[in-house]
A and B are shown apart, each in its own frame.
Chain A
């Protein structure tokens, strides 16, 4: 269980809401709260007040239409994408079809291309997968 000093440091840095506490610290901090509720409540009081005040300083969402402009610009850019983008799309498609490195090697197999293959076959990154899908769609047009 976390000690009082560390709990105090945690609240001073991340505020009173456990959802903002680091994953590594949260279980220990919650255990401290359960075992020392009065002390924890007192330590959290000031931080909780600042959390409330900070809500007034939250950024508003971006303008309507900005996302559309960005996507349109991206589509225009990708139509003139450098060779690596086309290569990446092919490699991503290869990986998607289960060809993996075998499919990738069809594209040449140089060291640079191998690096691209590694980068673009990393489907553990959903955002990157989305980017590859986008490039692939644009290259097909």
Chain B
């Protein structure tokens, strides 16, 4: 079981942080995910999604629930956040290169952000990502294409500076805070 948690926990917290943008909430989601796994494991059916995908699906649904509640509480009717573009633009004006890239990713619409987290950062296969998101592999590819195109556009102006800053950062690398 320790091996199972060790393997799946970084995926769950990484995905939750990507969707929620908050370390504390991401860890709450992880704890709630495992509770649900222990309480509802009998609901998983072999021959459908992989067990790991099923666990990730629980985590993603918990994140969506939280995002939905946030929107209900904080945003007026009819407001379309459009993936937080305003937030991303604000941080893009900053000088911290890591923050700039993170903000650009945070500015993507939720589903593009999730596809990118699963396929790019966690290096899951397109089939597993499709299971987790309950979409087709074609839809995953479309989400990824749109995400990367948007990021290229968003980061294009600063790409050369960012590449240089990140290269310098790697040469004097210090580990970031845990999420």
Binding site for B on A (CB under 8 A): 9, 12-15, 19-20, 22-23, 46-47, 49-64, 66-67, 69-71, 73-74, 77-78, 81-82, 84-85, 88, 115-116, 118-119, 122, 124-125, 127-128, 130-131, 133-135
Contacts and interface: CB of A to CB of B under 8 A. Distances in A.
Interface residues of B, number: 69
Q: Which among B41, B105, B125, B151 has the highest number of chain A CB atoms within 10 Å?
A: B41
Interface of B: 1-10, 13-14, 17-18, 23, 26-27, 30-31, 34-35, 37-39, 41-42, 44-46, 50-52, 55, 97-98, 100-102, 104-105, 116-117, 119-121, 123, 125-127, 137, 141-142, 144-145, 148-149, 151-152, 155, 159, 162-163, 166, 169, 175-179
B178 A62 contact: yes
Contact of A130 (B1, B117, B163, B176): B1
Contacts, number: 167
A3 to B, nearest CB: 16
Contacts of A135: 38, 41
Q: Which among A15, A19, A63 has the highest number of chain B CB atoms within 10 Å?
A: A63
Contact of B4 (A55, A63, A131): A131
Given A19-B123, A52-B166, A130-B1, A59 B8 contact: no
